[in-house]
Structure formats: C-alpha cells, structure tokens
C-alpha cells in the first residue's frame, strides 16, 4: 500500500488582480487571499489559472503556523489556504505553485504585437462561429 503523504494535495486558484507586492487570488471555493509575488511564477498575469501542490516533507520550506484556518509561512511570507484545508501545526510542507498548462488564448496573448493578437482572435472567433458541426 502506498502512503497517502506521497501524493501532494492540489489546490487550484485564479489570479484576480495584481498589486505592487502581492497578488489577490481566488481559490476554487470562492474565497480570496493575498500571496506575495515572489512566491508566484514570474510570468504572472490577471486571470491566470495556477495550481498549488502541497505535500508534507521534512525538507519542506513552508511551516504550518495555524491549523484552521490553515496558514503556511514560507520565505518570510504567510499564505492563507482555503477554509476546508487542514494542516498539522508545526509540520513542514513542500509548497510549489505552478501555472496550469497554457491554453490557446494564453499562448496567443504572449505575442508582442497585440493588434495581431486581436485581429487573429476575431478571425478565429468568426471562423468558429460560421463553421458547421
């Protein structure tokens, strides 16, 4: 039997807005919290979907400082997890925050010429609308 602690907890979230030193994120349950930008991917933008991997680890850099609601302290930053998440006080966790795989729209959004992006998106939308199933 494989121990459950080998599988990380996956917590999806969406970036609501980006401030100077932190990002306001929305968890799947609809709650909001602030996460400092240095803990998030550098290619961060509003509306981006991220996933948090959380796994108990002796070498983990994040420490649980509150049980419920769950707070993790990592790299001089405190992260509040969704209300349903429970942690063991004082335990260490490996915390990894990754963007979800790029969608078609996000890939096109990275094109530097935004007029090219808008024109192509309009053409794509028009072609999709007029196509027959």
**Residue 13 clears pLDDT 50, i.e. is over it:** yes
Closest alpha carbon to 53 in 77, 89, 79 = 79
Query: What's the CA gap between 103 and 91, in Å, rounded?
Result: 35
Ranked by mean pLDDT, the top range of 3-7, 98-102, 103-107 is: 98-102
pLDDT over 90, % of the chain: 33
Question: What length is written for the chain?
Answer: 133
Q: Which pTM was predicted?
A: 0.68
Tell me which long-range contacts 84-91 makes (C-beta under 8 A, separation of at least 24): 84/29, 85/9, 85/11, 85/54, 88/56, 88/64, 89/64, 89/65, 90/63, 90/64, 91/56, 91/63, 91/64
Class of domain 8-101: mainly beta
In the structure, what pLDDT confidence band is assigned to residue 132 with cuts at 50, 70 and 90? low
**Residue 117 clears pLDDT 90, i.e. is over it:** no
pLDDT tens by residue, 23-68: 999 998 899 999 999 999 888 889 999 999 998 888 889 999 988 7
The per-residue pLDDT for 124 is 54
Q: What separation in angstroms does the CA of 110 have from each of 22, 45, 88, 92? A: 22, 11, 40, 36
**Residue 81 clears pLDDT 50, i.e. is over it:** yes
CB 76 within 8 A of CB 55: no
Q: Where are the domains of the chain?
A: 8-101, 102-133
CA angle 56, 41, 47 (to 5 degrees): 110
More confident residue, 1 or 38: 38
**Residue 105 clears pLDDT 80, i.e. is over it:** no
């Amino acid at each position: 039997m494989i121990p459950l602690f080998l599988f990380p907890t996956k917590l999806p979230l969406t970036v609501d807005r980006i401030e100077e030193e932190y990002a306001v994120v929305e968890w799947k349950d609809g709650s909001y919290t602030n996460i400092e930008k240095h803990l998030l991917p550098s290619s961060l933008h509003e509306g981006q979907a991220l996933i948090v991997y959380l796994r108990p680890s002796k070498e983990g850099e994040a420490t649980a400082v509150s049980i419920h609601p769950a707070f993790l302290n990592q790299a001089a930053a405190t992260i509040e997890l969704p209300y349903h998440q429970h942690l063991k006080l004082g335990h260490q966790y490996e915390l990894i925050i990754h963007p979800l795989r790029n969608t078609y729209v996000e890939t096109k959004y990275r094109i530097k010429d935004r007029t090219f992006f808008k024109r192509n998106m309009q053409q794509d939308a028009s072609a999709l609308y007029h196509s027959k199933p």
